A and B are shown apart, each in its own frame.
Chain A
Amino acid sequence: MSERFEAGKAGKGRAGPPRLCVVPCSGIGKSYGSVTREAAYVVTEELRPEATQIVPLSLLVLGDADAQAAVRAAPVITLDGCKLACASINVRQAGGVVAQEVVVLDFYRQHRDLKPQGIAELNEGGLALARALAEEIAATCDGLEAAEEPQHA
């Protein structure tokens, strides 16, 4: 098993369902792609490190067995930088279930004051947009975890 991410295993140091997968689009040609990557890092490193993990899209494209197992074992949140929706399409082709599909351009339309610029280095607007997106993903993560918990009488 790859040490990079876990397939079908509970989050680090806790019992429970497999870690939710976050798959950013990997685009390097536009600012929106950078926003997806930054948002994924904020969620997996800061907001919900125990419950989430990034699965790299490049491995899914190549049909890597560990990456495919990871997206098949847990709900997936896909973050796409454009309407071509590479992340969503690749996850579904790998047999994963997309629990939430975010297109950053649509998200930006709800936050027009946070205009992203730059690719290698996002501007303040881009970083703020990514954080807002990450907070929404964290809320989705909480909802999914709550739904997974056993019901008590």
Chain B
Amino acid sequence: MPSLPQRKVGIVACSGEELPEGTVTRLAALKVLEELRPAQTVTICLPLFLAGGEGDRAFAKFYPTIAVDGCEKRCAARATELYSNKPAASFLVDDIVTQRDLARPQGLRRPSAASRAAADALAEVIAVEVDRLLAVRWSRSQGAILEAEDASQGVSTAACACGSGIPVTTVQLDGRSVQIMALAPILEFAYGQGLRAGGPVPGQIMETVRMYNEIPAEDDALWAQAVSLAWQEYCTGREVTHGA
């Protein structure tokens, strides 16, 4: 049994050289690995699965992986499952492009501005998913999330157990305590992208919050209000920190 790193998430990008979307997967994976979550992620070499990379296979068998694919063939997701274990999460470039209403990626060797925008958006989604996976309890023996329901209801405890920061934010909605998954990293990323408080909460933030939280229809307005407040507080906190 190889020595496995602690608390890491593996990223498997299809890297398809013949499609612009393949280039987007590669750029997004690199952005997460090098800039957004360098201490929490490793890259897993897809071709090594077949070429006999025992270390890569073992990692993907016992630790959470995120498969990132450029087309519906989903080579990264399917190969990961075929040779080691089902990915904990799987993203398709097309889905992100559609959800964010972005332009189609273009260019293989020289990615277009649209490709870079898609890669940035995809990297953001991957980073949030990394945070989520590090926040829940993970069974190495089963290669799966443990007690998914309990984790979603009390993630703070699980997060403390694995020491992975603050994966959930607890807010008060109409007198009730509600936990919002991954709100802190979402706000951090939005701020890093140059967004600032001062008006309605930016649409991108609520879209990303919705991707990681099931918001009951009757609570939608309350959630928006809570996220808006959290966003304003976050921005104020950052400005105070920078001004100090």
Contacts and interface: CB of A to CB of B under 8 A. Distances in A.
B109 A58 contact: no
Contacts of A85: 51
Nearest to B50: A61
Contacts of B82: 62
B46 interface: yes
A28 B26 contact: yes
Contacts of B52: 89
Interface size grouping (class) on chain B: 20 to 34
Interface string B1-28: 0000000000001111111001000110
B19 A62 contact: no
A41 B50 contact: no
Contacts of B22: 56, 58
A28 B109 contact: no
A24 B23 CA distance: 14
A49 to B, nearest CB: 12
Contact of B49 (A24, A38, A54, A61): A61
B47 A57 contact: yes
Contacts of A24: 17
Interface size grouping (class) on chain A: 20 to 34
Interface in A70-122: 84-87, 89-90, 93, 119-120
Interface stretch (B73-81, B147-155, B231-239): B73-81
A29 B43 contact: yes
Nearest to A55: B18
B18 A61 contact: no
A100 B174 CA distance: 69
Given A25-B47, A45-B109, 4 more contacts: A4-B18, A41-B17, A58-B14, A84-B48
